[in-house]
Amino acid sequence: MIHAIGQVIQDHPASPAVIAQLVDIASGLDLAEVEPQVRELQAEPFASREPLRGAIINFLAFRDLTSKAGQAATNPKQNGKPEFGKGKSIRKVGLTDGQRASGKLMRRGS
């Protein structure tokens, strides 16, 4: 089945909407095996039409995220923590002291 999905994506015999649905299915199932076909399709003029363009962007973004998360898990720092997360926490940026304190109270209460 995975091979068939990759073949249809590669040959794209259907409309962009149908191919976009296949790319979305491949993304939802995290089918890394079809990534080469999706990358090849991205370079073709056929792929510039919506909703296919958005489906390809989402698929590749998800693949990049999952591959980076896998690398961080297999390459931890010496202290055992993953490499990502070096900067300030997004949750704390731009919050007032009162907002931070109420957030701590809410977490304790749940």
Supply the pTM of this predicted model: 0.63
Q: State which residues form the domain around 103.
A: 2-109
The DSSP result for 61-109, as a single string, is HHHHHHHHHHHHHHS--TTS--SS--S--TTTTT--HHHHHHHHHHHHH
Percent of the chain topping pLDDT 90 = 57
What pLDDT, on a 0 to 100 scale, did the predictor assign at position 10?
93
d(CA 16, CA 13): 9
Residues 53-68: tens digit of each pLDDT: 999 999 999 999 888 8
Asked whether the beta carbons of 46 and 16 are under 8 A apart, the reply is yes
The number of folded domains in the chain is 1
d(CA 105, CA 100): 9
Residues 45-98: tens digit of each pLDDT: 999 999 999 999 999 999 998 888 777 666 655 555 555 555 555 444 555 666
